[in-house]
Homo-oligomer: A and B are copies of this chain.
């Protein structure tokens, strides 16, 4: 497929570009706040930029009328509405975490929250020292999956790509689920799955959970 990347020179942008090339896909467009490289019309747009760039993203989708895969975090409620509105005309896959393991972790968490209503729950996440947001978007998704107020501990340590643990504690036992990213390539693989999925849709708003478990 011909792909375009918004947030092209960011860490995830480069990782995605490298994997798409490796898999034989064709680079069509790369855009950043500093530069733009346009080779051809993209069949899918992948956005790993920052919230302030949303207008640019909307312009590009309106121009190319192609699916959007969005991994941008930190949108306001208004910006989220714009993304959802977009899904009326093109397929949109939006997620804060494109790792299959995290999706399974969310699924298990939903399963446990019913059975362990009276147990304490604690979420902890550890990331590299360069990560600026606290807690991670994934930790917030885990808390949302439990559906009640959950404390989140955020550790910043060396160059850890991303560890998450959710622990359920009763008076006699502890049950926990842990996830550890070994390399950012994991997310890039999730983006490819999402692009494949989106290209088979006409329009609609989807999450990475739909990509993995629908169909």
Which of A111, A177, A182, A185 counts the most chain B CB atoms within 10 A? A182
- From 93 to 126 in chain A, residues with beta carbon under 8 angstroms from any chain B beta carbon are 99-101, 104-105, 107-108, 111-112, 115-116, 119-120, 122, 124, 126
- Neighbouring B residues of A176 by C-beta, 8 Å: 177-179
B172 touches A159 (CB 8 A): yes
In whole angstroms, what is the CA distance A100 to B168 when docked? 12
Would you give the shortest CB distance from A94 to chain B, in whole angstroms? 20
Judge whether A120 and B156 touch: CB under 8 Å: yes
A212 contacts B by Cβ under 8 Å = yes
Contact: B175 with A189, CB < 8 Å?
no
Residue-wise, chain A 143-162 has the 8 Å CB interface mask toward B (1 for contact) of 00000000101111111110
In the complex, A81 has a CB within 8 A of chain B:
no
Given contacts A120-B156, A122-B156, A155-B122, contact A183 B172 (CB under 8 A): yes
| A36 interfacial by beta-carbon distance below 8 Å | no
Q: Is the interface of A mostly helix, strand, loop or mixed?
A: mixed
Residues of B within 8 A of A171 (CB): 158-159, 182-183, 185-186, 189
A111 CB contacts on chain B under 8 angstroms: 104, 107-108, 111
Separation of A122 and B127 alpha carbons in the complex (Å): 11
What's the Cα separation between A130 and B129 when bound, in Å? Answer: 30
Task: Using known A-B contacts A120-B157, A212-B115, determine if residue A173 contacts B181 with beta carbons closer than 8 Å.
Answer: yes
Complex alpha-carbon distance, A77 and B40, angstroms: 58
Task: Known A129-B120, A153-B153; judge A179-B173 contact (CB<8 A).
Answer: yes
Q: Confirm or deny: A84 has a beta carbon within 8 angstroms of a beta carbon on chain B.
A: no
A204 interfacial by beta-carbon distance below 8 Å: no
CB pair B157–A172 under 8 Å, yes or no, is no
Residues of chain A touching chain B, judged by Cβ–Cβ distance below 8 Å, are: 99-101, 104-105, 107-108, 111-112, 115-116, 119-120, 122, 124, 126, 129, 151, 153-161, 167-189, 212
